[in-house]
Amino acid sequence: MSVDVAFEDEFCVITINRPEALNALNASVISALDAAFEEAANSSARCLIITGAGDKAFCAGADITELSDNSMIEHKQLLQRGQRLMNKLADLPIPSVAAINGYAFGGGLETALACTFRLATSNAKVGLPEVKLGLVPGYGGTQRLPRIIGEARALEIIMSGRTVGAEEALAIGLVSQIIEGSAVEGAKAFARNFTGYGLPILMMLRDAVTRAGDLPLHEGLAAEADLGALSFATEDAKEGIAAFQEKRAAVIKDR
């Protein structure tokens, strides 16, 4: 299988499993990832972790061997398919963490950018090198990278096509943490900072913050107030307030 799916504790762990090709994205991997994201969305998992097989690469990007014979229309359709896949990942009803273990270039970095959080092992190297092929990143890189690290930094990385190491990625906010040891275990430890909270409120928080990059301030504040009111009406909010007042641990029901 080109993609492995495992359920471990409260996690769905998805592993891109083409180490002989540095876990590059071909048509088979994209189809398998689409099915894996669907499986995660319909499961009882509280967080998705995605990583790459082996210790060399998270995902080295698109499989270039599948691109050379495409027409312009076929290439656009391929990009749109990739964008739909990344949107599905970004819109999952559970948080997601990319455990970047090694190379994450092109579509590999775009996969990580679609996750809620990104972590990196010390040997991680990331970038959008499409300019070197005379191409524009097409799976969301030109849109998500500036929202995460700012327009000027994103332009410099995209227009130079250069490689960013783990320490720089941490310094510019592209990743949240550098993992020592197992990438998946490090991602689990990181995710347990929030997996104990109710999923409805976590998704409201994600949506509120995401809107900050898309809306004028006054519209974003209105959306925040709407989401705040919705969160207040949940059973988990009532339980959380009661638990605080009674000095006990809250019992979360995701309602």
Residues 177, 21: Cα–Cα separation, whole Å: 26
Which among 110, 185, 219, 239 is annotated as catalytic? 110
- Residue 110 a catalytic site member: yes
Q: What's the Cα-to-Cα distance from 177 to each of 50, 79, 117, 157, 186, rounded to whole Å?
A: 15, 30, 9, 20, 9
**How far is Cα 118 from Cα 26, in angstroms, rounded to an integer?**
22
Selection from 12, 17, 9 nearest residue 40 by Cα = 12
Q: Which of 8, 20, 130, 219 is catalytic?
A: 130
User: Which residue pairs from 236-241 have beta carbons closer than 8 angstroms and sit at least 24 positions apart in sequence?
Assistant: 236/198, 236/200, 236/201, 237/201
* 130 classed as catalytic: yes
Active site residues: 110, 130
